[in-house]
Amino acid sequence: MIGENSIKEKLKKIIIERVKFKAPPQEIKDDTALFGPEDPEGLGLESIDALDIAAGIEKELGVRVNEQDDLPAKFYSINTLTEYIKELMQKSSEEAQKYDSRIEEELNDG
């Protein structure tokens, strides 16, 4: 599985490329609020930007953002987004293992 620092770097790259954020990755702090004007230190991204970021996550990291999840909390910062992606990757890995086990059982029974 991809490491936490790697996920964070990819997320920063996705934000810069997808929403045309004009700053180098190192200027995006891991705990800075990504969305909304409430935090003067935050990036001030808008909700429409979340769609672009979600598409980038799917393309670059191979996991699909679930619209049923608490996305405002998950997308709060690079740190919260990284934890969310790790959860999605873990769930995806577990589902793949279950699928492989079922296929193996069917092949052995057949």
- Residue-range domain boundaries for the chain: 4-109
Does the predicted TM-score (pTM) go above 0.95? no
22 in the Ramachandran plot: left (φ > 0), alpha (ψ -120 to 50) or beta?
beta
Predicted pLDDT of residue 54:
95
Predicted pLDDT of residue 77:
96
- Spell out the CATH class of 4-109: mainly alpha
Higher pLDDT, 43 or 39: 43
CA separation for the pair 105, 110 (Å, rounded): 8
| Per-residue pLDDT tens over the stretch 87-106 | 999 988 777 666 666 776 77
- What is the helix, strand, coil percentage profile of the chain, to 5? 65, 0, 35
| Per-residue pLDDT tens over the stretch 3-35 | 999 999 999 999 999 998 888 999 999 999 999
Query: If you average pLDDT over every residue of the chain, what do you get?
Result: 88
